[in-house]
A and B are shown apart, each in its own frame.
Chain A
């Protein structure tokens, strides 16, 4: 644990801008390496900025990623505790940077729809989809895979992420064809990666920057049950 003292932090700065200022200061002093942290889009889409701030994934604000968190959320003189997302399945690479490729492997295990690309592919817009299902699927698809669910869960469970990916496809006609194998494969990969078990605390739903609902977890549970029981 290392403590840095910051001054002249504008309340309008984003948290990452504050980190940039900190790193500029460290670099100009030339005594040590800057603090490594992940970032990319800085507009709440990429899900790279994985920081556990004052005991919460992405900090004290709701429905935002760390890059959308502003310094006005803290008081002058506060000590802010910043940690990397911690889970065995997310090994720390350096400082605040973690390896979340476990999520990529879960996606590769079934988070896709196989289509015929021979030129006879049916136009997706020509397939009727009930509005309610389309909305639910879209809501699930807004998951950016940031890992806040894993970081917040006391068991380091990835069920919210996996359930969002399962639901996203299971609700659409194109995804139903492979739904049985998808859920079985993705859950198996999740277990192989060493994530913990879900105990329905609901912390993941609260801390998710995209508001992914626990209803997706129930949907995945039901999908998995029916897929396991199906001959």
Chain B
């Protein structure tokens, strides 16, 4: 199994598949968050379901955490190996002449997203785990909307979230269609995939920023 990961192409598939999995999760997260703009009741009921369903909690959540950790660790390993493959650097490189900033700086945008995730875990996941499994509080299906909107009362947090979403968008702008190329898809559908990449990489982070700003302005 580990020998298989010696192959540069297997590592490439692993990055692509874990990335596509995280994209799916991101879309699911976004649609759930979006409901908070339209209906407190719907948001509460979906959050309650996600927070208490045993399949989500004890099967999907560990898979998601593994996916996140795997994607980041593999990204770091690949970046380290790639840097090692050219030990003497060029005196002058004109990278902008042949590739996008996003494609050359995936590790930077990835690290910003990783730091954001620490903040996000600190804000929501750790208190949630504490509420349910440490303090073992009684079930309250109506608490989620308040807990979420309360966090977005802080302009500093909203600014940090918005800044992170910008980098998430930059990461997705390269990562989305690059994942398809990595698993061997570069055919007649590639133009549609590139279009979908732009739509997703701009639309979803902008949507997250909108949700954060919406709750912030409502709190003023």
Contact = CB atoms under 8 A, between A and B. Distances in A.
**A in complex with B:** yes
Contacts of A89: 85
A1 B89 CA distance: 13
Interface in A135-159: 152, 154-157, 159
B82 A221 contact: no
Interface stretch (B96-104, B114-122, B203-211): B96-104
Given A201-B104, A206-B98, A156 B8 contact: no
Of B88, B98, B184, most A-chain CB atoms within 10 Å: B98
Interface string A49-81: 000101110001000000000000000000001
Given A56-B98, A200-B182, A188 B103 contact: no
A207 B7 contact: no
Nearest to A217: B181
B192 to A, nearest CB: 15
Q: How large is the interface on B (under 10, 10 to 19, 20 to 34, 35 or more residues)?
A: 35 or more
A201 B100 contact: yes
Contacts of A188: 7
Interface in A216-231: 217-225, 228
B183 interface: yes
A87 B90 contact: no
Contacts of A16: none
Interface in B1-35: 4, 6-13
B181 A203 contact: no
A22 to B, nearest CB: 18
Contacts of A207: 98
A172 interface: no
Given A55-B92, A196-B82, A206-B99, A214 B181 contact: yes
Interface of B: 4, 6-13, 78, 81-82, 84-95, 97-100, 103-104, 106, 174, 178, 181-187
Given A88-B85, A218-B185, 9 more contacts: A56-B94, A81-B91, A89-B85, A155-B86, A159-B8, A194-B85, A197-B82, A200-B178, A228-B4
26 contacts: A55-B94, A56-B97, A56-B98, A60-B97, A86-B90, A88-B85, A88-B87, A152-B98, A156-B86, A157-B8, A187-B8, A195-B8, A196-B82, A197-B78, A198-B182, A199-B78, A199-B82, A200-B103, A201-B100, A214-B186, A215-B186, A218-B186, A220-B9, A220-B184, A224-B9, A225-B9
The 7 closest A-B pairs by CB, nearest first: A222-B184, A55-B94, A218-B186, A196-B85, A155-B82, A206-B98, A201-B103
